[in-house]
Amino acid sequence: MNKGSQAQSQASLSRFNDPTGRCHYTFTVPSPTESSCSGSSNKQELTGVLSRLTLVEALVSRLVDGADGSSGAGTAEESLQEAYSQVTRERDQLQQDKEHLSQQVQTLQSSLAELDREMESLRKRSCQQTEASEGALYDYRPAKDPVHDLRNDAYQEMRAEVTELPASRLLPEGNLNFTGCGELLSVGNPVLHRKADSITGKYGVWLQDPDPRGPGFTNQTVWRIDAVGTDVRQLFMYEDMEQFSRGFPSKVLVLPEPVESTGATLYRGSLYYQRRRSRTLIRYDLVTESLASRLELPHAGFHGQHPYSWGGYTDIDLAVDERGLWAIYSTAKAKGAIVISQLDPVSLQVKESWETKIRKNSVANAFMGRATSVPFKNQYHYNSMVDYNHAHRKLYAWDNFHMVTYDVRLGRPRHRGN
């Protein structure tokens, strides 16, 4: 080993704190040529020592900085790891809470559906328990006004009131089963929604579907037919009562067959009406905007054979209540007395019929339900259409250009022994 190597191996580095706490580094390097310090120094050797000392200090500084940086990075990494673990735990807990809430929502929805079914079952049971002997039609009996009485009997101005027609006067005993739920207690004053602005609106039909089916409309959608004319085919659609009152339809449909008079009705997404100058009934699908079914109503009078008292070719009147679709008409066999038939809402086939004891041309209008004698205000003196909407619990009427509704109040149905 040469002297340079010995000198390098004997070099040392020491570190200590002074009394003030300041860190000091001391580097000791033996002289390669001298065993002890002399009074004089060689400038070249001193320069070499200083150069080596500067190099060592730089190395020490790098080592110290590296150690401090490694410690800080380790601490930061541990903190991030802990934060990530906490977020993961919270996410898993939120997922569990979400699943638990979803199960609770499904349970509540199932319970609500079960309650709806139970309520419907109770409602139907209540309807079925209602005594058939208490059933009735609503009818309007006109009082002729000499000033307005048209001698040709085509039309007749009238004043009207709701009159009770008990089943004992209407039907053979024991076979009536068409009544709705609840006894009619009162009919409110008419509420005007719109007045027709032309002669074609002298009389007509306006309705809302109590049980709409299919997209594009709801039970708030209003439908209207102006019934004056020889080829009535236009069906006006309004999104709601507000648009109807303003008079701007959102759609106008052209029906495939012309309409006869004011006996049309709406039910489950279809318009039901009588074809002009025939006993043919038509179901028009409002979703597909096409004719869905048609069928002749057996033996029914038409085009003035058995109309209501005011005329207007009102031989066949279609109506809807809680129990389904009905036809109110007469036949030659019934000799002008009212016949009531329940219809299949899809095929229009007659399911069952009842023959009453009241002449059709002695009443001004009729619809299905339960009635007692209550006041009814015929404000505009020419009520050509009255229809009951069981969903809204309102009467819809077309009264001498005016489209009005009446609020009705129903009581509890009477049962045996009351």
DSSP string computed for 341-370: EEE-TTT--EEEEEEEEEEGGG-S-EEEE-
Query: Rounded CA gap, 164 and 179, in Å?
Result: 13
Provide CB contacts within 8 A for 315, sequence distance 6+: 260, 261, 263, 274, 279, 300, 301, 302, 303, 304, 305, 306, 307, 329, 330
Phi/psi for 126 (5° steps) reads: -65, -40
Strands ordered across the beta sheet of 290-296: 265-267, 270-274, 280-285, 290-296
Strands ordered across the beta sheet of 162-166: 162-166, 136-140, 366-369
Is residue 369 a contact partner of residue 138, using CB atoms and an 8 Å limit?
yes
What are the tens digits of pLDDT across the range 165-213?
A: 443 334 444 343 334 456 777 889 999 999 998 998 998 999 999 999 9
Provide CB contacts within 8 A for 218, sequence distance 6+: 212
Sign of CA dihedral 303, 305, 308, 312: positive
Per-residue model confidence (pLDDT) at position 43: 58
Phi/psi for 13 (5° steps) reads: -130, 125
Those residues of the chain that have pLDDT short of 70 are 1-12, 25, 27-53, 55-74, 76, 120-182, 367-374, 412-418
Give the other-Cβ count within 10 Å of 28's Cβ: 9
Query: Rounded CA gap, 274 and 363, in Å?
Result: 20
Domains of the chain in sequence order:
184-409 (2.40.128.630)
Is residue 327 a contact partner of residue 316, using CB atoms and an 8 Å limit?
yes
Q: Give SS3 for 248.
A: coil
Per-residue model confidence (pLDDT) at position 212: 94
Could you tell me the two tokens for 347?
A: 């095929």
Radius of gyration of the chain from Cα atoms?
47
Query: Rounded CA gap, 344 and 324, in Å?
Result: 8
Query: Rounded CA gap, 326 and 341, in Å?
Result: 6
What are the tens digits of pLDDT across the range 222-273?
A: 999 999 998 999 999 999 999 999 999 999 999 999 999 999 999 999 999 9
Could you tell me the two tokens for 127?
A: 């309807």
The torsion of the CA quartet 178, 181, 184, 185, rounded to 10 degrees, works out to 160
Beta bridge partners of 409: 186
Could you tell me the two tokens for 143?
A: 């009082």
Per-residue model confidence (pLDDT) at position 60: 61
Beta bridge partners of 233: none
pTM: 0.61
The residue behind tokens 């080993």 is 1
The residue behind tokens 């004719």 is 291
Question: Cα 174 from chain centroid?
Answer: 41
Query: Rounded CA gap, 97 and 95, in Å?
Result: 5
Which residue, among 363, 380, 286, has the nearest Cα to 329 in the 3D structure?
Answer: 363
Question: Cα 52 from chain centroid?
Answer: 90
Beta bridge partners of 326: 319, 342
The size of the chain, in residues, is 418
